[in-house]
Amino acid sequence: MKNTFVLINGLPGNVAATMARAVVSDPRFQLIPVSLTGPDIREPSFQVGEIPVTLIKPDDRKTAVSKIRQQFSDFIAIDYTHPSAVNDNARFYVQHHIPFVMGTTGGDRNALESDVSRGNIPAVIAPNMAKQIVGFQAMMAFAADQFPNLFAGYSLEIKESHQQEKADTSGTAKAMVGYFNRLGVDFKPEQIQQIRDPEVQQTQWHIPEQYLSGHGWHTYTLTAPDGTAVFEFKHNINGRQIYVEGTLDAVLFLQKQMTAPMGSKRLFTMMDVLHPQGES
C-alpha cells in the first residue's frame, strides 16, 4: 500500500524525471501529479508513465500547494531543480510547512541551513544523495579528525566530470576540499577542475557514451613534495540510480521525523539518514 505522498519538483529535468519514475514504480510511495518548476519551462505537463504531472511555475505555486494540501494532507517534497532556485525554494518550503529533501546543489548553503534551522519543519539537505559516497565522505572526515595535517606539504588535484547541463561545480568535490584542508593540504574550491565537454569526457576520460548525459566521475590525487609518493581516491558513478536510492531513504527518514515528537533539530544530512541512531 502506498503510504507516503511525494511532491517531486524540478520536472522535466533529468534527475527529477528519474526520481518520478522511481516513485511511481515503488509501492511505498505515491506521486502527487504536480511539480513546481522554473519560470522558463514551456510545457504545461510532463508524462510519468501513465500519470500526467502538471507543471507549476513560481507565480502559481502558492495556490497549487494549497490545493495539494487539501487533497493529500501530509506530503514530502523532493527538490531537484536548479542551483539558482535553491534558496528561494527552501524558504518557500519552510514558510508553507513542507518537509523536503534537497538534492539540488549550489545556492548559498549557509543561508539554506539557517533558513531551515529557524523553521519548524524537518529537511534533509546534502550535496550528494549517494549513500556510498556519503559513507566515503564520513571516512574522510574521520581521517581529518584523527590525523590532522597527515598530508601537509602535499599538492592536490581534483577533477570532477558531470553531464554538460550541470550548471555548478560539484558540491561533493567542494565538501572534499574541506577534509583535505584539515589533512594539511593547501587547496581552494576554485582550483577544482570542472569537466563538462562531452568530447573530452568520452575521448580522454573514457566515460561510456550512454552515460555522458548522466554521470559523476571524481578523482582526487595527492602528490608528495618530491614526487615520490602519490595517493589517489576516485568514485565514478554512471547514471542516477545510486542517487535515487539515497533520496528515497531520505524521504522515509523524514517521514519518521514527522511522526516522532518534534525535537529541536530541523536540519538533517545524509549522515543522519545513514547513522543507525538517525532511525530512532
First to last CA, the chain: 23
Q: In what order do the strands lie in the sheet with 100-102?
A: 29-31, 4-9, 76-79, 100-102, 123-125, 267-268
Cβ-based neighbours of 9, under 8 Å, separated by 6 or more: 16, 35, 36, 37, 77, 78, 79, 80, 81, 89
C-alpha cell at 42: 514551456
Domain spanning 131-238, CATH architecture: 2-Layer Sandwich (3.30)
- The b/e string for 223-249 (b: 16+ C-beta within 10 A; e otherwise) is beeeeeeeeeeebebeebebbbebbbb
pLDDT of 35-88, one tens digit each? 999 999 999 999 999 999 999 999 999 999 999 999 998 999 999 998 899 999
Does the active-site annotation cover 166? yes
Looking at the DSSP assignment, which residues form a beta bridge with residue 221? 157, 232
Q: What is the reported pLDDT for 2?
A: 56
Annotated catalytic residue, options 57, 82, 131, 166: 166
**Residue 280 scores a pLDDT above 70:** no
Tell me the CA distances in angstroms from 69 to 6, 57, 73, one per residue in order.
12, 17, 5
Q: Which of 125-139, 216-230, 256-270 has the lowest mean pLDDT?
A: 256-270
C-alpha cell at 218: 571524481
Give me the residue spans of the domains in the chain. Answer: 4-121, 131-238
Annotated catalytic residue, options 57, 67, 97, 162: 162
Residues 14, 39: contact at Cβ < 8 Å?
no
Q: Give the mean model confidence (pLDDT) for residues 162-187.
A: 93
Q: Give the mean model confidence (pLDDT) for residues 240-250.
A: 94
**Residue 268 scores a pLDDT above 70:** yes
Does the active-site annotation cover 97? no
Q: How far apart are CA 88 and CA 112, in angstroms?
A: 9
Instruction: Quote the mean pLDDT of the chain.
Output: 93
Q: What is the reported pLDDT for 218?
A: 97
Cβ-based neighbours of 79, under 8 Å, separated by 6 or more: 9, 10, 86, 89, 90, 93, 100, 101, 102, 103, 104
- In the chain, pLDDT over 70 holds for what percent of residues? 96
Q: How far apart are CA 272 and CA 211, in angstroms?
A: 30
What is the dihedral sign for C-alpha 27, 32, 34, 35?
A: negative
Please give the backbone phi and psi of residue 29, each rounded to the nearest 5 degrees, phi first. -130, 160
C-alpha cell at 234: 576516485
Verdict on whether the full-model pTM lies above 0.85: no
Q: What is the reported pLDDT for 230?
A: 98
At 279, is the pLDDT very low, low, confident or very high (cuts 50, 70, 90)? very low
Supply the DSSP string of 68-110, one letter for each residue: HHHHH-S-EEEE---GGGHHHHHHHHHHTT--EEE----S-HH
Q: How far apart are CA 187 and CA 105, in angstroms?
A: 21
Residue in the block written with cell 534558496 = 87
**Residue 1 scores a pLDDT above 60:** no
Closest CA to 102 of 19, 223, 225, 204: 19
Q: Which CATH class is domain 4-121?
A: alpha beta
